[in-house]
């Protein structure tokens, strides 16, 4: 392949065959984005000598706005081919090339002789990595992998996978910039080294690190120093130590993934069929950001966890877009017959829900995780721990994050590994588990996963499930994060001991990642209709008013966060999915939701409620007070806002006053408020006042839960309640309030929400915990409670006090 003149009698015929037979599925980047200078000679560089790659490259460049790869360049008295291959020294079947001059050396000498620069463009070609709609034994055998391919296997790849190709062009490399005047052989080695690094990074990005034998990896984990130290700690005798060593290997087999390229290809075809059957489409955003980082950094994907589909969906999208799927941390409950082995070969490694009291298991798992990260394998885990039954982002759990930080700190002693977290938001128009979530929120027990349960879910595949959004958030470099948390962390890491500050840093790391996940959220028709419809007292609304409210929510959102279409289209979409009812009436059309539909819509509303937190809170402040100045509004909302920002996992603005002023201006522009001297008042328009009231109701449940908790807490002396005691008492009162007010919303009295509220009050220093676990507060909390209570109407305050007194009696 190195010289296009080879096989000259057959080349034209072979090229016509390649043009007719092959089809490129992914070509990146586009020709105009490469930055190739048309005035300079271009030489394409392939990672290995291959006739099929060369012919394909000629075919691609002939039909695109790219320099021709079939030509030759005349520089001085030297004639150079337009494509070259990196030299190889590996043994051939019949011969081994010894001392062969590098093809770049001739280009360097020609560049010097002619005074004309040459640009080298690296090209990576992958045959049959993603089989599209076809997959089978032959496609699996002919797949590209880290193993070198012989001529027979490459011929098989061309014949079997020629319709599913990936071609990746690299940035042009200037020989003139590389040439520093030294001997051509030195510049040659420099160019070859840079190109090999590029090809290795591209191969790592597409195929991931080389997948070593699972048995070797497990054996290495069992013999590692941390595991041997755990065995020595527990062993009572040499015989006991040998038994613990065998147990460590058994733990390794229980945990370790067995990822294989053939299974990945099989799953790609299987999941493609599933998505086409189950969903109307998958909208992926931000993957270009990941492609720019993959291959140079170890990536840890941290998606929100709403459905079992999450990890399948993310792996499929990454694989389909030319990226290596990650190893996925999965609960041991998924290691069930049939499903478990398939997931394990697709990259899942399994973990127990708790490591408490299991020193050896903990050591094995941590060492396995460390080796994955240290080798550069992309990783995926859910920092929420489990799926969100309420639809909102759950507080992050520190377990996997802490182990990742441990691994990162220890790796700094070895090779200074670079690690990036990639937040991922996944939003569904309809999820498969909606029935089980409703049952569990209503108090039902969580059913154990089993193949039979999977079969029950498969029966729902014929129902419409809409579209899915997968959005990549802003990546977070762990070293930069630690620089902000503890500037001397590198010196501490060199000691090999866990620093005292790490626990607090991991907590803040989890909070930062949850905020970045939520910041990447986008809206779909179900989210929007749920926000508007559930803000009505009886889950019924006139169609024109619903359309106006949807338009209002769209005006308060980012333009890139909105679904296509108009409010009428969104309503019709949700109706088609069976989540609301359209009623014909002589006085005008109505949109209603039955109790079961409303409960389900609440889950989708909670996915995106955080996007309207500040605007909803501002509108809520005008609910029972007609007029506010900016000073009054800031003083009124300042105590509540930090706690709400934590509850909704959103970035609190650096200056609340400025953000409130922006919200007031937007609400005024939308004719929901009017400027009144130095302040603002509710609009005199009945339609605008109704829309403002509905916007304020978005925050009403959260505000009522907070007020109820404060009223219970402050009814007793400081130090009376523990975390669990306060959470349980408040939850009971919230459930009673929901029943008395006719709310069919189990999410309103969800225990996790009250537990999180207590934790957030403590993080904001409104509460403190003593050594016995009792909560303490001071006069500041009393003043804040008195201020916040003015947001509520007297009837609600009286009802809350009456419910509390009845419970105490």
Which pLDDT value is given to residue 138?
42
With contact defined as beta carbons under 8 Å apart, do 384 and 304 qualify?
yes
* Separation of alpha carbons 367 and 383, rounded Å: 19
Give the pLDDT mean for 246-259. Answer: 92
* Separation of alpha carbons 576 and 752, rounded Å: 33
Summary mean pLDDT of the chain: 84
Which pLDDT value is given to residue 452?
63
Residue of higher predicted confidence among 689 and 92: 689
- Give the burial string for 157-178 (b: 16+ CB within 10 Å, else e): bbebbbebbbbbbbebbebeeb
Which residues, in sequence order, are CB contacts of 700 under 8 Å at separation 6+?
Answer: 620
pLDDT classification of 496: cutoffs 50, 70, 90 = low
Give the pLDDT mean for 310-336. Answer: 88
Structure tokens at 92: 């051939």
Which pLDDT value is given to residue 212?
58
Quick: pLDDT tens for 120-161.
999 988 876 533 333 344 444 444 544 445 566 667 667 666
* Separation of alpha carbons 198 and 205, rounded Å: 10
Of the listed ranges 347-356, 374-383, 583-592, 686-695, the least confidently predicted one is 583-592
Which pLDDT value is given to residue 102?
67
Give the pLDDT mean for 103-113. Answer: 81
Which pLDDT value is given to residue 473?
96
Which pLDDT value is given to residue 33?
81
Structure tokens at 583: 């009623």
* Separation of alpha carbons 613 and 698, rounded Å: 8
DSSP helix/strand/coil, 576: helix
Checking phi first, is residue 348 left (phi over 0); if not, alpha (psi -120 to 50) or beta?
beta
Q: Which of 84, 339, 34, 302 lies closest to 188 in space, CA to CA?
A: 84
* Separation of alpha carbons 109 and 115, rounded Å: 10
Give the dihedral sign, CA 491/497/499/502: positive
Which pLDDT value is given to residue 807?
62
* Separation of alpha carbons 529 and 546, rounded Å: 8
Which parts of 353-415 are beta strand (E)?
379-380
Of the listed ranges 57-66, 342-351, 750-759, the least confidently predicted one is 57-66
CB atoms within 10 A of CB 500: 9
Quick: pLDDT tens for 463-483.
888 999 999 999 999 999 999
Which residues, in sequence order, are CB contacts of 564 under 8 Å at separation 6+?
Answer: none
φ, ψ (nearest 5 deg) of residue 205: -65, -40
CA of 196: how far to CAs of 96, 123, 291, 327, 665, in Å? Answer: 21, 11, 19, 26, 56
Task: Tell me what percent of the residues of the chain surpass a pLDDT of 70.
Answer: 87
Give the pLDDT mean for 92-102. Answer: 48
Which pLDDT value is given to residue 130?
39
pLDDT classification of 526: cutoffs 50, 70, 90 = very high
With contact defined as beta carbons under 8 Å apart, do 109 and 184 qualify?
yes
Which pLDDT value is given to residue 92?
47
Q: Judge if pTM exceeds 0.85.
A: no
pLDDT classification of 656: cutoffs 50, 70, 90 = very high
Which pLDDT value is given to residue 77?
77
Of the listed ranges 32-36, 334-338, 450-454, the least confidently predicted one is 450-454
Give the pLDDT mean for 486-498. Answer: 78
Checking phi first, is residue 36 left (phi over 0); if not, alpha (psi -120 to 50) or beta?
beta
Task: Tell me what percent of the residues of the chain surpass a pLDDT of 90.
Answer: 40
Whether 301 has a pLDDT exceeding 90, the answer reads yes
Quick: pLDDT tens for 508-524.
999 999 999 999 999 99
Pairing state between β 165-169 and 298-303: unpaired
Whether 558 has a pLDDT exceeding 50, the answer reads yes
Quick: pLDDT tens for 771-782.
999 999 988 898
Residues present in the chain in total: 809
Whether 542 has a pLDDT exceeding 60, the answer reads yes
Whether 236 has a pLDDT exceeding 80, the answer reads no
Which pLDDT value is given to residue 606?
94
Quick: pLDDT tens for 681-733.
999 899 999 999 999 999 998 998 888 898 889 888 999 999 999 999 888 88
Structure tokens at 490: 């590198």
DSSP helix/strand/coil, 729: helix
Which residues, in sequence order, are CB contacts of 377 under 8 Å at separation 6+?
Answer: 208, 209, 298, 326, 327
Which pLDDT value is given to residue 490?
84
Which pLDDT value is given to residue 675?
93
Give the pLDDT mean for 195-201. Answer: 84
Quick: pLDDT tens for 658-687.
999 999 999 999 999 999 888 999 998 999
């Amino acid at each position: 392949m190195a010289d296009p003149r080879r096989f000259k009698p057959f080349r034209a015929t072979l090229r016509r065959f390649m043009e007719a037979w092959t089809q490129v599925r992914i070509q990146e980047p586009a020709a105009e984005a490469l930055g190739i200078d048309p005035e300079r000679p271009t030489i394409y560089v392939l990672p290995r000598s291959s006739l099929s790659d060369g012919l394909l490259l000629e075919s691609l460049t002939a039909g695109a706005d790219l320099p021709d790869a079939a030509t030759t360049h005349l520089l001085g008295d030297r004639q150079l081919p337009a494509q070259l291959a990196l030299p190889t020294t590996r043994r051939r079947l019949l011969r081994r090339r010894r001392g062969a001059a590098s093809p770049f050396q001739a280009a360097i000498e020609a560049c010097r002789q002619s005074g004309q620069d040459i640009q080298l463009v690296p090209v990576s070609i992958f045959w049959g990595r993603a089989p599209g709609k076809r997959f089978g034994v032959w496609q699996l055998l002919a797949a590209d992998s880290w193993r070198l391919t012989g001529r027979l296997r490459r011929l098989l790849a061309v014949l079997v996978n020629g319709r599913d190709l990936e071609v990746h062009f690299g940035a042009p490399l200037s020989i003139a910039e590389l040439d520093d005047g030294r001997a051509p052989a030195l510049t040659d080695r420099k160019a070859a080294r840079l190109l090999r690094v590029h090809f290795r990074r591209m191969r790592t990005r597409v195929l991931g690190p080389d997948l070593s034998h699972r048995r070797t990896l497990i054996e290495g984990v069992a013999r590692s120093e941390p595991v041997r130290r755990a065995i020595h700690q527990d062993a009572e005798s040499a015989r006991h130590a040998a038994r613990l060593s065998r147990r460590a290997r058994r733990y390794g087999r229980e945990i370790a993934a067995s990822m294989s390229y053939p299974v990945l290809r099989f799953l790609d075809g299987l999941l493609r069929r599933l998505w086409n059957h189950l969903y109307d489409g998958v909208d992926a955003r931000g993957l270009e950001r990941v492609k720019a980082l993959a291959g140079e950094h170890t990536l840890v994907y941290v998606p929100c966890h709403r459905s079992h589909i999450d990890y399948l969906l993310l792996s499929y999208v990454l694989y389909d877009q030319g990226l290596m799927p990650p190893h996925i941390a999965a609960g041991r409950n998924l290691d069930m017959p049939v499903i478990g082995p398939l997931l394990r070969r697709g990259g899942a490694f399994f973990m127990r829900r708790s490591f408490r009291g299991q020193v050896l298991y903990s050591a094995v798992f941590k060492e396995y995780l460390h080796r994955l990260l240290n080798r550069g394998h992309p990783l995926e885990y859910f920092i929420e721990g489990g799926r969100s039954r309420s639809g909102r982002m759950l507080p992050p759990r520190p377990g996997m994050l802490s182990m990742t930080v441990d691994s990162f700190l220890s790796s700094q002693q070895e090779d200074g590994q670079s690690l990036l977290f990639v937040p991922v938001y996944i939003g569904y128009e309809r999820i498969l588990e909606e029935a089980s979530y409703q049952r569990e929120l209503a108090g039902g027990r969580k059913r154990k996963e089993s193949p039979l349960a999977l079969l029950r879910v498969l029966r729902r595949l014929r129902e419409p499930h809409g579209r899915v959004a997968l959005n990549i958030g802003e990546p977070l470099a762990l070293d930069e994060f630690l620089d902000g948390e503890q500037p001397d962390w590198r010196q501490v890491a060199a000691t090999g001991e866990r620093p005292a500050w790490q626990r607090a840093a991991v907590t803040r790391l989890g909070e930062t990642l949850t905020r970045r996940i939520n910041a990447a959220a986008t809206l779909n028709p179900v989210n929007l209709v749920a926000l508007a419809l559930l803000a009505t007292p009886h889950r019924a609304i006139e169609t024109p008013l619903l359309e106006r409210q949807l338009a209002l929510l769209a005006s308060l959102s980012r333009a890139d966060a909105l679904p296509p279409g108009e409010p009428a289209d969104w309503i019709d979409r949700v109706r088609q999915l069976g989540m609301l009812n359209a009623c014909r009436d002589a006085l005008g059309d109505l949109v209603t939701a039955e109790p079961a539909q409303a409960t389900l819509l609440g889950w989708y509303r909670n996915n995106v409620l955080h996007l309207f937190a500040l605007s909803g809170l501002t509108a809520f402040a005008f609910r029972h007070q007609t007029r506010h100045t900016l000073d009054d509004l800031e003083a009124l909302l300042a105590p509540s806002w930090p706690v709400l920002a934590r509850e909704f996992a959103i970035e609190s603005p650096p200056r609340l006053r400025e953000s409130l002023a922006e919200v007031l201006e937007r609400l005024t522009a939308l004719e929901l408020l009017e400027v009144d001297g130095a302040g603002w008042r509710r609009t005199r328009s009945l339609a605008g006042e109704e829309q403002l009231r509905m916007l304020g109701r978005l925050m009403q449940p959260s505000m009522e839960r907070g007020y109820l908790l404060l009223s219970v807490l402050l009814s007793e002396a400081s130090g009376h309640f523990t975390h669990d005691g306060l959470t349980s008492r408040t939850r009971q009162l919230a459930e009673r309030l929901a029943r008395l007010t006719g709310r069919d919303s189990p999410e309103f009295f969800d225990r996790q929400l009250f537990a999180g509220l207590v934790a957030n009050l403590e993080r904001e220093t409104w509460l403190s915990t003593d050594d016995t676990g009792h909560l303490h507060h001071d006069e500041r909390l009393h003043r804040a409670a008195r201020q916040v209570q003015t947001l509520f109407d007297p009837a609600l305050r009286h009802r809350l006090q009456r419910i509390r007194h009845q419970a105490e009696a």
